[in-house]
Structure 1
Amino acid sequence: MSLAVIGIVMLCGCVGNNTNNSSSSSSNAAASMPMVKLVNCKGQGSMPQLLSTKELDAVIAWEPMPEILKTKNIGKPIIYSQNLPPKGMWKDHPCCVIVASDNALKNNKVAVDEFLKLVVLSTNEINNNKSLAIDASAYWLGVDKSVEKLSVPHIEYFTNPEKDVPGTIEFVKVMNSQKSLTGKLKGVNDKDTIVNTLFDLKPYNTVMDEIKNNNSPNVNDNNIPTLRVAYLPTDHHAALFVAAKYPELFKNKYNIYLKEITPKKQYELYENGKKIANIKLIQVSEGGAKIMTLMAQNQVDIGFNGVPPAVFAIDKGTNAKIISALHGEGSAVVVRSDIPVNNWKEFVNWIKEQHKEGKQVKIGHPLPVSIQYVMIKKALEAENITYTE
């Protein structure tokens, strides 16, 4: 796959100043210069190019980008997100979630619930057979299966939103410590307030009750809504891809499925032979923050995106709630292939050595409101690595 194709398949590129390393003969200048420059990226599409041209030394990226970089010999993953410092902080960390607008939750409750049911069942199928996620993600993203075979095992797929509550509370605390929250959650540390502001657990509980008791909702045949569902081009959202790619599996096993109208764009959701909703899929290349912006503008009803974009948007007044988890973990720090390090400890030492020589290490991240951004900052701080942005 060419770098250009990778850029199209993944997310659009990084932005920032020229990131070439430069030496300084002044020890005073080296001492005062932060060791690392964090490069603000709008997605991940330019990461292969910027690493290849040595404009970046490393990136923190979500899957499957780390494995794309590895298979193309552009970079090497040196640590996966669950192992980043501070020790133990990121084990089972939440990453992507399903967010629904308050309007959809109020006015299209049945459609939202049953779409969520399909995602829950799809996640269960993935955990029983990871090849479903591998095949569907390769098809949907246009990447080789060999990439997905490396990527999917690093992702923990689950949907119970309560599993995300502790990690989300920690994110809110981190964001408040960085003075990043300015609205509803500014300075808030109370668990119940955070949960009530960000989560609506009722849809998931309804769905689980339906699955357990083999129940189905009453459907108003005269009112078939359209749900506009936005997602990112990442195998983090494999549950959606699997549900769309294998309708017969879900129809035969669960009597709920997506009927394809236009591949990867238009579907109809059916349950027990009845049409529940029209589903319009919207791929968003700019990241989760863009999805939340579209939701605030009433252009999206359901968003598959990261926890931090959801937190930032709801904090600032977007009328929406997290209704389900999607997965945990699934990111990595990738160092350029020519850099002589093979693990996180060696990378930290290399950063310090570069600093002594008056060089600043450049690390790219997807977005300032991404979980990857939060993790790399905390990891650098834990190692006493100074940084600028």
Structure 2
Amino acid sequence: MQECHFILLGATGDLAMRKIFPALFRASQAGLKPSICACAKSPLSTPEFLDKLNTRAQEYIKSLDPSAWEDFSANISYTPLDLTRLEDFKALQATHPNTIIYFSIAPEFFAKACQNLAAVGLNTPNIKIVLEKPLGTDLKSCQEICQEIGQHFKEEQIYRIDHYLGKQSVHNLFYLRHNNPFLAGLLGANYLDHVQVSVLETLGVESRGGFYDPMGALRDMLQNHMLQILALSTIPANIPIERTRQAKLEILKSLKPLSRAALKSQVVRGQYIAGGGLKGYTEEEQVNHNSQTETFVALKLELDHPSWQGVPFYLRTGKRMGISLVQVVFVFKGPPQALVYTIQPQCSLELQLQGMGALKSTLDSGMDAYERLILEVVAGNQAPFNHQDELEAAWSFVDPILQSWHENLTPLLPYTVGSFGPQAAFDLLHQDNREWFAHV
């Protein structure tokens, strides 16, 4: 039985209710024994908060065992807390040597919260903090946030969450390459023609328009999740697992900057328009009616890395796509044949060889991503979390793309709900005599 004290800032928010509390409950069923101090601005008593939490638990936890939930919620207390008021932080205590403070709050409050935590002594070496993305909207703002946090907490105390790194299905790809010399030998410049990474969603922005409109697909999905998938797909297969974090950093630093010409010819951005009875992006709740925010991005990039010289990578992500899919496709040289690794909706590995059809195996997707990441924080394992240097390397690659969009180098192209993006996304591969993998 592992014990910890869990202080959750932003406990009444959607993320806390939908993801964090269910993950903590599942972790408690697997042997974790957390005492939880839930904090938010709402002036609630503990019973009032638990009433609210119990209602949401019925919605988000399948086959909820009432007795198990009662045992779990008995260890939850609620403390009203204004993130900007130092006085409120004096009510918090580190009641266990393994104390975790989870920032389920907007990043603009990170610095103030860290300052107030430090002022009441809640930044001692035994305390860990967990930060949700996004950390900044560009390289400069990312560095500023990290610098402010770093004034109060050391790097080894900081766990920056990318929930994709908690998915067992994402890590399965690395483990397959790490433990399978056959695959390790094939996945590199000697045998590969190119690699495709697709993250497609049938959902639109739904009720997240207020968050999404200032961000867009490039910041919300490609800069973090997709570049992390790319890194895990390409790090050397023979490295020790404990060096995974450093190996990912080396890959991210090897991203070749896009020239001004490439920013015009190798980047596509789009925005969904109404179709099939569904709204267009600019008709969504909390979205500017004249918004130029992209809901689709496709681009071609290369790595300046010995194992991947000359191998192009094609990345695409979009909302309101024809299907929901997260997939990495390694396309081999010669006749059309590929190794297809699907992360969502069902984790699977498929080898397509000319004349042999497809050999497909379904893989275990493992535990929920947030549950796994919380257990990794408790254990003090930082490998599945982003280092500051990784964030900065990713932003260094993405910043010139954002700047080129401010200069209107890349037009914002419409695409209909239920399609697979603008025609320009297909032309991106057609101009190289390639095409997107037929995933349906």
Q: TM-score, normalised by structure 2?
A: 0.27
* Structure showing greater Rg: 2
| Higher RCO structure (Cα 8 Å, ≥6 apart) | 1
Bigger helix share: 1
